[in-house]
Structure 1
Amino acid sequence: MDEEQSEPGPEGPDEAQGAEETEEPRAGQSAPDRPERPEPSGEPEPAAPDTPAAAPVHHNRVNQYFYGALDAPGAHFGIGAGDSASVRRRAVGRLDAGEADALLAPYVEPGCFEEAAAALAQDGVVVLVGPPGIGKRSAAVALVAKAAEGTEYVVLSPGRSLEDLAEGRVAFGKGVGYVLIDRMRETASGTADFDWRRVRDTVRDHGAHLVITTVHPVDGDAPGSVRHVSWELPDLAAVLRVRLLRKRCDADTVERAVAGLPDGCGVAEVAEAAGRIARGGDPDEVWQDYGSGAAEPVREWFAAGREPREWAEVTTLAFITGAGYRDFETWQERLEEWVAPTFPVLANDEETAAAHRRDADRRLSLGRNVLVAVEKRKDGALTRGALVFAHPQYRQWVLQELWAKRSTAYWNGVRDWLTELVGTRPGLGVQLSVASGLALLTRPAFDEVDENYLHPWAAGAAGPAGQSTATLVLQFMCLDEGLASTALAVGRGWAHSPDPAVRSAAAAAFSGALGVRFPTDAVNVLLRLTGRSEEAEPALAGLVALLLECGEDTGAVLRPLAYRLRALRTTLTGHHKETVLGTVQTVLGARDPRTGRLVGASLLDGDPGQSDRFAELWAGVLESRPRRAWALRLLHATLRDLTAVTAEPDPAAVRFGRSLGAVLTDRERWHLSTALRRTAVRPAPETAALMETFLIAVLSTED
C-alpha cells in the first residue's frame, strides 16, 4: 500500500461526503514510529488563557501572510493572475452547481470530443492526454455531464493511484460523474493494462463514470482496457465568440476580438481575455498581454546583441520585482559577480570585469531597457519608485528566453546568487518575489527548480528563510491550475524524505495553500508526519485556521481526528492514544497568528456544521485525566474568545454545549459543570453569562 494512502475506516452518515473521502485508519491501527511521549505524572498546570497555547511557527506566519496580503509582483498565473482567489478554494471534492455551470455553459467541443464520449459511455472510464492549456479540465466535466445520470460531479485528488481507484478507496456512487485532473505519473509497471482493467471494472460495477486527465503520454502501447485519447485544442475563435456573446458584447467588439486573437494562446488565456474585453477592455490592448502578443517584444529584445550587464538586469528583475533602485542595483551587481565567468570578455580578465562592474551606470542602462519600467507606489504619505517589467506578462517570457539562451554555467551562477540572497533573510517581500519567479520558471524548467532550489532549500541550504521560500514556491504553483498537481507531488515527496528539515518543509507546505487545494492529501500526510516532524501537529492546527478563513470544510481535519478518538475511546492509555490526544490538544489550543484569538472560537461561529466533530475532540481531552486541567482552562478561554469573534455568541455556545453533552457521560457532564465554574477566576460578566448558557446546554442532554 502506498504510504500516503491508508485504508478507509467505517463511516457514519455524517462522514459520507459523496466527495473526496477523508481516509481513516483501521481501529487499532498503530501510528508511525515516534519517540514515546512521556506520561504526565499529574494534572499539569496549563498555559494561562491569555497566553497562546502554542506559538505560531515561522512557516505558519509565512502562510498567513501569503493569504492575508498576497503580493505576486509581476507574476502572471493564467486565470486569476496576481490574485489568490483560485488558491483559496479546494481543488478536490464535490463540484458545486455554480462552478459546473461556469465550465459547461461556454464549453466548445474539440474534434476529439465524440471519440472520448463514446469510450466513456462504453467503458465508464476514459483518459485525456495532452499538454497544459488545451482545456482538458473543462472537457472532463463536459464528458461526465454528458454520460452521468445526474448532475453530481466530484473532483478526485491527482495523487490517487490506480490501486486507490481499483480497491475501493474512493467511494464511487451510482450515477455520479468523477474527474481526476492532472493525474501524477506512477512508476512503470508490467501490469498496467491489468490495473486499468480493475479500475474500469470497479467504476462500472458502481454505476459511475470517471474521466482522468494527464500531461504524461503513455509509455509503450496504450492500455487496451481503458481508452487514452490524445486531446486537442478546441477552436479558440469559437471559444472566444461564445464567451463574448454570452456577455452580450456588440458584434463589432466580437469581430475585432476574434480578428486580433494572437497565436500561442491556451484556453485559459482566451477565457481570461474574453472576460477583460467583456468588462470594457479594448481588444487590441488586451491581446498585447497574451500569446505571441506578449512574447514578441521579449523575443525581439533577446534577439538583439546584449551586454552582460543587460542579461543581469533582466535576470535580476525576473526574480526581484518591486524593489527600489538602490537595493536592485546592489543585488544586480552581486549577480554579475556570480555569472561573470560565463562571459568570455569578463572571464579572461578579472581586473577588467571588476572595473566593468564598478564603472557601470546601471541606472542609465535600466532607463534604456524597454522591458523595464518604474512604477510609482504609495507608501503611507510618501511615494516610492519600484522597478518592474513594463508589462507583467513579460516576466514569464523573460524566464523562458533566459532558460533557452543561457548555459548551465550561467544558471549555476543564478542558483548560487539566489541561495546567497535568500540566506541573508531579505524579508517577506523579497521572498515572495523570488518564490513567484521560481514558480514561473517551473513551466519551462521544472527539474532545474526542483533539483537546485526546492529540495536543497527545503533541506536548509539557504537557512530558515530558504525553507520558507521553498514552501512559498509551492503556494504560488497552486495559483496555476496546470502546476497545482505538480506542487502536490513535490510536497508528498518531501514528506517521504529521511531528512527532518525536508519533512518540516512538507508540514509547512501542507498547512498553507497546498492544504487548502488538496485537503484530504494534506491531512493524510500531516497525520503520518505527527510521528516524524515536530511541526506536523502545529501544521494541522494551522490548516484548520486557513480552511476556516477560506470558507472551506474544516471537517477535513476534524473528522479523521474524531474518528481516531472514537476508535481509541475504550483504550485506557498507550503510545498511539497519547499521540492522537497530543495532536488534538495542539489543534484545540491553536491561535490565529494575526489576532491571537483561539481558532476554536472562530470555528464555533464560522463553521457551525462541525460542532459535533469539534465536541468529540473536546470530549477526548476532557476525559483524559492528565489533560483535564489544561482542557478546562482552555475551554473557558474559548468561550471568552467566542464573545470577541461574534456579536451573538449564545447560539454557538448552545450548539456546542449540546454537542459536547451528547458525547460525555452523565458523570463527566456534572464534573464539567462544577470544574469549569471553579476554573474561571473572576471572569468578565459577558464570559460568565456565556459560560452559564453553555453549561445549561451541556446538562440539557442528560438522559
Structure 2
Amino acid sequence: MNEEHEEHREQRAQGEPEAHHADPAQPTQGPPAEPDPRPQPQPQPQPQPQPQNAGEDPSDPPAPATPPGQVQHNNVNQYFYGELSASGAQFGIGTTGSDNARRRAVGRLDSGEADAILAPYVKPACFEQAALALQQDGVVVLFGPPGTGKRSGAVALVDALADGSEYVVLSPGRSLDDLASGRVAFEKGVGYVLLDRMGEDSAQTADFDWRRVRDTVREHDARLVVTTVHPGDGAVVESVRHVPWQLPDLTAVLRVRLVRAGCVRDTVERAVSLMPGGCRIAEVAAAAERIACGAAPDEVWQDYGSSAAQPVRDWFARDRTPQEWAEVTTLAFVNGAGYRDFETCQERLESWVAPAFPAPVSEEEQAEVARRTVDRRQSLSRNELVAVAERKNGPLTRTALVFPHPQYRQWALEELWTKRSTPYWNGVRDWLGELVAAQPGLGLQLSVAQGLALLTRPAFDEVADNYLHPWAGGAAGPAGQSTATLVLQCMCLDESLAATALGVARGWARSPDPALRSTAVAAFSGALGVRFPTDAVTTLLRLIIRRGGLPVDAAFALAGLVAVLAECGQDTGAVFRPLAYRLRAQRETLTGQHKENLLGAALTVLRARDARTGRLVCASLMERDGRQTASIGELWAGVLDNLPRRGRAVAALNATLRELPAVSERPEQVAERFGGALGEALTPGDGPPLAAALRLVAARTDGAAGPWVDIFLTAVLSTED
C-alpha cells in the first residue's frame, strides 16, 4: 500500500467551514496553574519557552489568547513525553515501556520490526486453519482475548502466504466500506494486517460487507488478516472465515527466545520450570529479554503472570478495614506522593466512600475509628501493599509511597473492582473528580491518568462513562479535559488498549458537543496522533474545514503533532503531505472559508516552535530530514500564493531563514535546498515578487538572515528558467 496514496484517498470534499480570523504563531502554551493545596506528588515540568524567542521575527503577530474551555494540550503532551523519557519510568501497562507511544502503530513494517516478530515466532495449533482460510479466500479474521498473540500471528500469516515481503498495518478505525470501496489502495503481493478492528459496522449487512472486502482483496491479489476481540458483533458471517485464536505453547516461546539469545541450557530449563501460569505472550517475551541480559529467573518471574497477582490477591482475601481499603485505593491513583500529600488525599477519599461502609454505632467502634485516624501513618507502615521509595529530586532525596512492585498496581485495581460495589466506586468517582477539578499539577494528573488507564482493562465502561466522557466534556473543568487526554495517552502504551483509545477519541471528534471535540483535538496532537497519524490528521483536517468545526484548535493541534512527531523521530510527512494535497486542491479557488481555514492551518504548522527548545520545527526538520524539504516548500508556496497572508508569511519565512544557523552546521546547503523546493512549487512568475518582498523584510530586521536570504533566493529564482 502506498501510504501517501491512502492519505490522498481520504482528502474528500467536506462541508463549508466556519471562519477563523486569528493566525496563531505556534501551539498555545497553557497558563501556569494557580497555587493549590492539593498534593503535587511528582516534580513539575520545566517552564516552557515563551512565544517570542531570539530566533523569531519580532514582526510576527502574537498567538491569540486561549479560548475558554480549550484544552492546554501542548503542555500536557510535552510533559507526558518528558515523563515517558525518564529513566526507569514504570506505568504498569504492557511490557514495552514508552517506546509504544513514540512510534506509529500503522503503515509499512520495516524489515527490522518484521524480523523481530517473525524470527522467534512459534505457531499455535490454530495456525494452519487460519493459513488455509487465508490461502483460499485472501482474507481471514482472527478473534480472541488480548494477550493471545494475534498481532504476531497476523504478521506470520501474511509472511507465509503473501507473494512479496512487504507488510502493511492498517488503522483499526478502517470500516468494512473503507476496505471494499478503494479507500485502501491494496497492492499485488502485499500482505495487510488490520489489528484490533473496531466493530462499528451494521450487523444486518455484515456478511455482504465482508464479501465485498474479500472480493476487493482478491481482485488486487493481496492478502488481508484482521484481528479483533469479538468474532462478529452478533452478526452471522459466512463469506470470510473467523478463526478463534489460541495461545501457542508458552514454554516453546520462552525456549526459542532464550536459545536465540545465547543462554546456556541450564538457564533455559530453569527459566522454563519456574514460569508461572497466567502469562501473556508479551510478558513471556519481556521476561526472556531480562533473563537473557543476566537477571535471575526466579526474581524475574515474580513480576509476571500469577506470581505478580498472588500477593495482591492474598492481601484482598483477608478482612480489611475501611481505612485499609482507602489506603490501597489512594495508592492506585496517587502513586509516588510523599506522606503529607498522600494522607491528605486518603482522608478526602475516606469521607467520600464512608457511605459504602456500615457506620460505627457503639462507643467501642467509634473509638476504633478515631484511633485508626490518629494512627494513619503507622497503618500505612503495616500495609504489605504499601512501600516507601527514596527518589532523587535534583540534589535532594524525597520519600514516595509506591507499590512494592509496579505490577501490583494493575492487580490491585482489578481486585478493587471485583471486591467493592457501586456505592464505593461512586465515592471514588466523586473523589477523583474533586481532585482533578482543583487543578493539581501535571504530576498528579499523570498519576490519576495512569490509574484510570489500568482500570480500563477490567472495567472499561466504568472508566468511559464516569470519567473519560464527563471529564472530556468539561465536568471537571479544563484540568479534567487534559486528564482525560492523558488517560488516552497512557492507554497508547499498551498494544491491546491503543485501538480502544483511538475509538474513544474518534467518538469525541464526531460529537456535537464542542468541549468533547476540543478534547479530541488535544488527544490527537500527542501520543495518540503518533500511534495513528493518518487517523489524527484526517480528523483534525475535517475539524478545520467542516462547518461548526474547531479550525483554530485543530490548527494548533496539527502544529503540536508535527512537533511531537519530530521529537519522536517519526514521519512528519504524515501531516505535511495531506495538508499540501488539500492546498493544491484549493489553489484555483479564489476565496471561501474552506480555503481560509486551510491556509491558516498551514501557516500555523510552518510557524510551530518546539515547546522545549523554542526552535522552529520546520527549520530543524529541513536539517534533520531533507526528505521533508519538498513538502515544506510546497506548503510555503501555498501560503505565499495568498495575497492577504503574504505579508505575515514573508515575515515568518524570514524568521525561518534566520534560524538556520542555530539548527544546522550547514545552513547554506539547507537554504539552497529549501529555495529550490519552494521555487519548484511556486506559480511561474511569483519568484521575483517574493524576492523583492523578502529582501525588504530582511533589511528591516537585524540582517542576521542576509547571507541565507541571498542563497535561498538564488535557488528560488534559478527555477524560473
The TM tier, using the shorter chain, reads over 0.9
Q: How far 1:526 moved relative to its partner?
A: 0.5
User: Which of residues 259, 279, 282 is equivalent to 1:245?
Assistant: 259
Choose the corresponding residue for 1:324, options 338, 353, 368. Answer: 338
- Mapped to 1, the partners of 2:424 and 2:661 lie a distance apart of 58
Secondary structure class of the residue paired with 1:85: helix
TM-aligned CA deviation for residue 263 of structure 1: 0.6
1:442 aligns with 2:456: yes
Q: Distance in 2 between matches of 1:443 and 1:250?
A: 37
Task: Select 2:296's aligned residue among 262, 269, 282.
Answer: 282
- After the TM superposition, which of the residue ranges 607-616 and 50-59 deviates more from structure 2? 50-59
The match for 1:383 among 385, 391, 397 is 397
Instruction: Find the residue that maps to 1:344 and give its secondary structure.
Output: coil
Map 1:397-408 onto structure 2 (within 5 A): 397-408=411-422
- Structure 1 unaligned spans of 5+: 1-14, 41-45
The corresponding residue for 2:17 is: 34
Q: CA deviation at 1:508?
A: 0.2
Rounded to whole Å, the distance in 2 between the matches of 1:350 and 1:484 is 51
Rate the CA distance shift 1:452–1:347 in 2: closer, same or farther, 3 A.
farther
* Contact 1:73–1:321 (CA under 8 A) maintained in structure 2: no
Letter in 1 for 2:17: R
CA contact (8 A) 2:650 2:697 kept: yes
The equivalent residue for 2:58 is 48
Structure 2 unaligned blocks of 5 or more: 24-55
What is the alpha-carbon distance in structure 2 between the residues aligned to residue 394 and residue 472 of structure 1?
21
Which residue number in structure 1 is paired with residue 199 of structure 2?
185
Stretch deviating more after TM superposition (612-621 or 265-274): 612-621
Check the 8 A contact 1:643/1:687 in 2, yes or no: no
| Partner residue of 1:96 out of 110, 117, 134 | 110
**Which residue is 2:227 aligned to?**
213
- Cα distance in 1 for partners of 2:361, 2:537 equals 51
When normalised by structure 2's length, the TM-score is 0.91
Other structure's SS at 2:392 match: strand
Q: Does 1:498 align with 2:536?
A: no
Query: Which residue identity is paired with 1:566?
Result: R
Q: How does 1:403-482 map to 2 (within 5 A)?
A: 403-482=417-496
Determine if the alignment matches structure 1 residue 631 to structure 2 residue 649: yes
What's the CA shift for 1:103? 0.1
Q: In the TM superposition, what is the alpha-carbon distance from 1:639 to its structure 2 partner?
A: 1.0
State the match for 1:680 in structure 2: 698
CA contact (8 A) 2:389 2:402 kept: yes
Give distance in 2, aligned partners of 1:291 and 1:614: 48
- Separation in 1 of the partners of 2:5 and 2:462? 36
Provide the C-alpha distance between the structure 2 equivalents of 1:628 and 1:424, rounded to a whole number of angstroms: 44
d(CA) in 1 for partners of 2:483 and 2:363? 36
Q: CA deviation at 1:345?
A: 3.5
> 1:357: how far off?
8.0
Deviation, structure 1 residue 134: 0.5
Q: In the alignment, what sits opposite 1:667?
A: 685
- Other structure's SS at 2:98 match: coil
C-alpha offsets along residues 1-36 of structure 1, whole Å, 9 cap, x if unaligned? xxxxxxxxxxxxxx943785454434xx3x434333
Deviations for 1:29-54, whole angstroms, at most 9, x for unmatched residues? 3x4343334699xxxxx972577657
| Alpha-carbon contact 2:199-2:233 (below 8 Å) kept | no
Residue 630 of structure 2 is aligned to residue 612 of structure 1: yes
- SS of 2:169's equivalent in the other structure is strand
Q: In 2, are the aligned partners of 1:548 and 1:607 still within 8 Å (CA)?
A: no
Q: Determine which of 296, 313, 336 is the counterpart of 1:299.
A: 313
| Cα deviation, residue 696, structure 1 | 1.0
1:415 is displaced (CA, Å) by: 0.4
d(CA) in 2 for partners of 1:609 and 1:76? Answer: 37
2:37 alignment counterpart: none
Asked if the contact 2:18–2:593 (Cα under 8 Å) also holds between the matched residues in 1, the reply is no
Greater shift in the superposed pair: 688-697 or 473-482? 688-697
Which segment is superposed worse, 634-643 or 445-454? 634-643
2:598 is aligned with 1:577: no
Could you tell me which residue of structure 1 aligns to residue 29 of structure 2?
Answer: none
Residues 493-522 of structure 1 deviation map (CA, whole Å, 9 limit, x = unaligned)? 000111111100000000000000000100
Number of equivalent positions: 679
Percent of residue pairs identical = 66
Match of 2:524 in 1: 510
1:431 corresponds to which letter in structure 2?
A: Q
Partner of 1:76: 92
SS in 2 for 1:667: coil
Q: Residue 353 and residue 618 in structure 1: after superposition, are their counterparts in 2 closer, same or farther (change >3 A)?
A: farther
Which residue matches 2:286? 272
Q: Deviations over 1:245-286 (max 9, x none)?
A: 000001111001000110100100000000000001100000
Cα deviation per residue 1:227-256 (whole Å; 9 max; x = unaligned)?
Answer: 100000100000000000000001111001
Partner-residue secondary structure (3-state), 1:107:
coil
Residue 165 of structure 1 deviates from its aligned partner by 0.4
In 1, Cα distance between equivalents of 2:611 and 2:699: 26
Residues in 2 aligned to 1:689 and 1:158: alpha-carbon distance in whole angstroms: 49
> What does residue 654 of structure 1 align with?
672
Q: TM-score, normalized by length of structure 1?
A: 0.93
Taking the aligned partners of 1:349 and 1:626, their CA distance within structure 2 comes to 79
Secondary structure, counterpart of 1:482 in structure 2:
helix
Judged with a 3 Å threshold, the aligned counterparts in structure 2 of structure 1 residues 383 and 190 are, in CA distance, closer, same or farther, namely: same
Corresponding position of 2:40: none
Distance 1:353 1:398, change over 3 A: farther
Letter of the 1:32 counterpart? G
Q: Using the alignment, how far apart are the partners of 2:516 and 2:327 within structure 1? A: 33
**Contact 2:10–2:183, Cα closer than 8 Å, also in 1:** no
CA contact 2:636–2:678 (8 Å) conserved in 1: yes
Q: Is contact 1:467–1:505 with CA below 8 Å preserved after alignment?
A: yes
> Counterpart in 1 of 2:663?
645
The aligned counterpart of 1:590 is 608
CA contact (8 A) 2:386 2:404 kept: yes
Alignment of 1:109-120 (within 5 A): 109-120=123-134
Residues of 1 paired with 2:675 and 2:171: CA distance?
35
Classify 1:347/1:400 alpha carbon distance in 2 versus 1 (closer, same or farther; 3 Å): farther
> Deviation at 1:681?
3.6
Relative to structure 1, the CA distance from residue 666 to residue 195 in structure 2 (aligned partners, 3 Å threshold; closer, same or farther) is: closer
CA distance in 1, matches of 2:224, 2:450: 34
Among candidates 373, 377, 383, match of residue 363 of structure 1: 377
Secondary structure at 2:320 match in 1 = coil
Query: Are residues 1:538 and 2:552 paired?
Result: no
Within 5 A, what are the aligned runs for 1:154-169? 154-169=168-183
Write the letter of the residue equivalent to 2:421. S
Distance 1:93-1:676 versus aligned 2 partners, 3 A rule? same
Distance change in 2, residues 1:18/1:641 (3 Å) = closer
Which residue of structure 2 aligns with residue 107 of structure 1? 121
Asked if residue 314 in structure 1 is aligned to residue 328 in structure 2, the reply is yes
After TM superposition, the structure 1 stretch with the greater mean CA deviation from structure 2, 182-191 or 294-303, is: 182-191
Contact 1:107-1:138 within 8 A present in 2 as well = yes
Kindly provide the amino acid, as one letter, of the partner of residue 343 in structure 1: F
Q: Residues 451-489 of structure 1: CA distance to partner in whole angstroms, max 9, x if unpaired?
A: 000010011111111110000000000000000000000
Counterpart code for 1:280: G
Q: Distance between the aligned counterparts of 2:238 and 2:205, measured in 1?
A: 12
Give per-residue Cα distances to partners, 1:127-184, cap 9 Å, x unaligned.
0000000000000000000000111000000000000000011000000000000000
Give the match's secondary structure for 2:400.
strand
Cα distance between partner residues in 1 of 2:367 and 2:631: 66
The structure whose RCO (Cα within 8 Å, separation 6+) is larger is 2
Secondary structure (helix, strand or coil) at the match of 2:469 reads: helix
| Deviation at residue 682 of structure 1 after TM alignment | 5.6
Q: Is this contact kept in 1: 2:312–2:408, CA < 8 A? A: yes
Larger mean CA deviation between 427-436 and 563-572 belongs to 563-572
Corresponding position of 1:4: none
Q: CA deviation at 1:221?
A: 6.0
Distance 2:129 2:357 in 1: 53
Distance 1:260 1:64 in 2: 41
Q: Are 1:544 and 1:557, in contact at CA under 8 Å, matched by a contact in 2?
A: yes
Going from structure 1 to structure 2, the CA distance change for 1:640 and 1:69 (only over 3 Å counts) comes to farther
Task: Name the CA shift for 1:481/1:112 in 2 (closer, same or farther; >3 Å).
Answer: same
Tell me if the contact between 2:524 and 2:536 (Cα under 8 Å) persists in the aligned partners. yes
Contact 1:222 1:228 in 2 (8 A): no
